[in-house]
């Protein structure tokens, strides 16, 4: 579906995307994750050929992007923009037409979608009369109006209230079930944890991690246990299986060495003190990200994550 090979993009003074490679298979929801400024939007703009990479190549539907393949893609940019003076329906139909569908189809689908997101009464209003949330829904419709096989959404939830966020999530899941491929770029990792099958984590233009979300979680959670332990932490630190211990208030988060059995440290801890809570960690994407970034010696601005 999409393959990015060794792509680099430099702006004067800094490298926005640095030797990035990734492959998106057809079907499912693919998460492109990372903090603000990680290079997600730059990557997507390069996929859409809005900007050109300095190095590397991008294939989409097994070939470089052409005018014809643009018609198979729906793109919701991070920067939202519409023709403010146009009527809602005209706007949607126009964007549909430049994606190659004919006028009558565009009108029909636009009306269907407007009803579906409960904006049917607004079709003859000028865009600028709509609230920001409504405009965002209109823009989302324009992204999918031409029935694209690949949908690329850059920060689709920003600025949406919880209800509309849920509506949008439902639509994304429906699209996946219809066999479309969705690429979802966001810095809100917990938002997509339940949506994405595969993810790619990037930071400072570089790929930190890529793979199937469930496998990644399994892999990382196997080595992490969290424990509320009243006793001397130093005793645990000395235990051979332990890689590292971090403290979060009363809780300890313990990284185990590869191949260590989580049960062994539990029985050791019980011998040495009181264990009030013990969990073979369900690890969040956020934690995985921090672990991986720190592993690579990168710095991280916590606010961004």
Partner 1 sequence: MKKMFKVVKREYLERVKKKSFLIGTILGPLLMGGIIFAPALFMKFTPESVVKIAVIDGSGVIFDKIESALSDTLPDGTNKYELRKIETSGLELNTIKRDLNLEIESDVIDGYLVLPEDVVKESKATFFGKKLGNIKTMERFESAIDNVVISERLKREGLEYDVVGKLVKEVEIEMIQIKEGEEEAGKGFDSIFMSTMVFIMLLYMSILMWGIVVQRSVIEEKNNRVIEVMLSSLRPIDLLLGKIIGVGAVGLTQYLIWVTCALVFALYGLSLGGPVAEIAANLSPATMAYFVVYYLLGFFFYATMFAGVGAVCNTDQEAQQLQQPIVLCLVFTIIVPMMIIQNPDGMFATLLSLIPMFTPIVMFMRINILTPPAWQILLSILIMLGAIYISALISAKIFRIGILMYGKRPDMREIFKWMKRA
Residues making contact with partner 1 (CB under 8 A): 45, 48, 50-51, 67, 70-71, 73, 75, 77, 79-86, 94-95, 97-100, 139, 142
**CA Rg value for the chain:** 23
- Name which of 2 and 285 has its Cβ closer to partner 1: 2
- Name which of 182 and 265 has its Cβ closer to partner 1: 182
The bridge status of strand 28-33 relative to strand 198-203 is: parallel
Least distance from partner 1 to the Cβ atom of residue 279, Å: 45
For residue 237, give every residue at least 6 positions away whose Cβ sits within 8 Å of its Cβ, in sequence order, or none: 245
Least distance from partner 1 to the Cβ atom of residue 278, Å: 50
- Name which of 51 and 173 has its Cβ closer to partner 1: 51
d(CA 302, CA 76): 27
- Name which of 94 and 239 has its Cβ closer to partner 1: 94
Looking at residue 121, the DSSP 8-state letter turns out to be: G
Residues facing 7 on adjacent strands: 20
| Spatial strand order in the sheet of 150-154 | 73-76, 150-154, 181-186, 28-33, 198-203, 206-212
Least distance from partner 1 to the Cβ atom of residue 48, Å: 5
Least distance from partner 1 to the Cβ atom of residue 23, Å: 21
- The half-sphere exposure of 161 on its side-chain side, counting CA atoms within 13 A, is 5
- Name which of 39 and 281 has its Cβ closer to partner 1: 39
- Name which of 79 and 124 has its Cβ closer to partner 1: 79
Least distance from partner 1 to the Cβ atom of residue 139, Å: 8
For residue 91, give every residue at least 6 positions away whose Cβ sits within 8 Å of its Cβ, in sequence order, or none: 82, 83, 127, 138, 142
- Name which of 5 and 80 has its Cβ closer to partner 1: 80
CB 232 within 8 A of CB 268: no
CB 210 within 8 A of CB 201: yes
Least distance from partner 1 to the Cβ atom of residue 191, Å: 22
Least distance from partner 1 to the Cβ atom of residue 70, Å: 6
d(CA 264, CA 139): 54
């Amino acid at each position: 579906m999409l393959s990015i090979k060794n792509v680099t993009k430099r702006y004067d003074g800094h490298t926005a995307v640095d030797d990035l490679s990734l492959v998106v298979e057809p079907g499912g929801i693919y998460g492109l994750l990372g903090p603000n400024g990680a290079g997600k939007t730059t990557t997507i703009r390069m996929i859409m050929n809005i900007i050109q990479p300095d190095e590397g190549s991008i294939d989409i539907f097994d070939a470089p992007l052409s005018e014809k393949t643009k018609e198979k893609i729906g793109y919701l940019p991070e920067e939202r923009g519409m023709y403010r003076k146009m009527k809602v329906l005209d706007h949607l139909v126009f964007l549909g037409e430049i994606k190659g569908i004919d006028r009558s189809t565009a009108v029909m689908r636009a009306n269907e979608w407007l009803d579906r997101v409960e904006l049917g009464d607004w079709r003859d209003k000028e865009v600028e009369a709509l609230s920001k949330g409504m405009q965002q829904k209109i823009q989302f419709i324009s992204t999918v109006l031409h029935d694209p096989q690949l949908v690329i959404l850059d920060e689709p939830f920003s600025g949406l209230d919880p209800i509309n966020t849920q509506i949008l999530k439902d639509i994304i899941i429906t699209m996946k079930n219809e066999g479309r491929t969705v690429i979802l770029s966001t810095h809100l990792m917990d938002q997509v944890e339940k949506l994405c099958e595969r993810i790619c984590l990037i930071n400072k233009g570089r790929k930190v991690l890529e793979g199937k979300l469930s496998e990644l979680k399994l892999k990382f959670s196997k080595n992490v246990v969290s424990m509320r332990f009243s006793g001397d932490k130093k005793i645990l630190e000395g235990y051979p299986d332990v890689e590292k211990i971090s403290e979060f208030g009363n809780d300890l988060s313990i990284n185990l060495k590869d191949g260590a059995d989580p049960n062994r440290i539990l029985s050791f801890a019980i011998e040495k003190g009181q264990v009030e809570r013990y969990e073979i960690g369900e690890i969040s994407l956020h934690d995985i990200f921090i672990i991986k970034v720190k592993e690579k010696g990168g710095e991280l601005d916590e606010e961004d994550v």
